Amino acid sequence: MESTYGLKIGGVPEHFNLPWRLAIEEGKFRELGINLHWSDMTGGTGQMIKGLKTGTLDVAVLLTEGITKAILEGLDAKILEVYVTTPLRWGIHVPYHSDITSVDQIEGQTFAISREGSGSHLMAYVKADQEGWDISQLKFNVIGDIYGGLWALENNEAQAFLWEKYTTYPFTEQGKCRYIDEVITPWPCFVIAVRSEIMEKYADELKSMCRIVTERAKEMKKNKQMADIISWRYNLRRGQVKNWLIETDWNYDGIEYPLAFEKAVSYLLRLKLITIEQAENWRGKLFV
């Protein structure tokens, strides 16, 4: 890779991306001549899709369903590989002082979402479908990030907010919101995507980049002190982190998961979030 060129990569500032942060801090990318500039994307997948579209990001670590939808709708990007192979556990959160105690009570209510096309947006559709609600009646309030979501709940600008449950756990302890249930993604949750132009120029470097981060994830998974490290770095309770580490696996061997994407495409199509035309030849559109 040209020494003057740096890859601009974005991901959520959450524990899932600690392998990236550690590899950057330890200089593992620089050793191979890869100049990686990481940006925390508090607005999640919707913000990263916008970054890939405008060129402010070259690479993004984002939710499977969000990037799948964006590429099939015309985003000029490709999926490099699955990053986290296990599903994401979305906590369903409601206002702390509300009378809502069960999922059926949020039917017809407003969902706070970070951005259009974000995971918090698409998973509201998934949950509505699972519950048998009329998805055409879903209502949303775009709030930017987790802090906007908490504000919307507190000020009754939304009555439900979906976000990764371990990230929001400290806020439930503080009385900022209440956790009532969860919805689990029906596919591996995070993938690594790249703008097509960058893929064409730096295919070998990108493969090396993926290998470095998955090797770092493998080391992290084996480290007996990792729960303490994550707890300290992300202000999470150690017991919660231990549960999360048990539940979470990265793509240690760079395996392809075509059935996962087939399932995601089928789901998006069934929920009318993409058209039949957009879903045609999905493999050719999603991958290099």
Ordered structural domains, the chain, with CATH: 7-86+187-286 (3.40.190.10), 89-184 (3.40.190.10)
Residue with the two structure tokens 């976000």: 163
- State residue 7's pLDDT score: 93
In a 3-state reduction of DSSP, which class is residue 42? coil
Please name the residues in contact with 5: beta carbons below 8 A apart, sequence gap of 6 or more: 35
- State residue 5's pLDDT score: 57
Look up residue 157 and give its DSSP letter: S
- State residue 3's pLDDT score: 43
Which residues in 101-212 belong to E strands, given as ranges?
110-113, 139-142, 160-164, 178-184, 190-195
Region for 286 from its dihedrals, namely left if φ exceeds 0, alpha if ψ lies in -120 to 50, beta otherwise: alpha
- Pair 170, 240: CB distance under 8 Å: no
- State residue 271's pLDDT score: 86
- State residue 2's pLDDT score: 44
Please name the residues in contact with 189: beta carbons below 8 A apart, sequence gap of 6 or more: 63, 64, 84, 86, 87, 88
- State residue 83's pLDDT score: 97
pLDDT by residue for the chain (288 residues), tens digit each?
444 458 999 999 999 999 999 999 999 999 888 899 999 998 889 899 999 999 999 999 999 999 999 999 999 999 999 999 999 999 999 999 999 999 999 999 999 999 887 889 999 999 999 999 999 999 999 998 999 999 999 999 999 999 999 999 999 999 999 999 999 999 999 999 999 999 999 999 999 999 999 999 999 999 999 999 999 999 899 999 999 999 999 999 989 988 899 999 998 998 889 999 999 999 999 997
Please state the pTM of the whole predicted model. 0.91
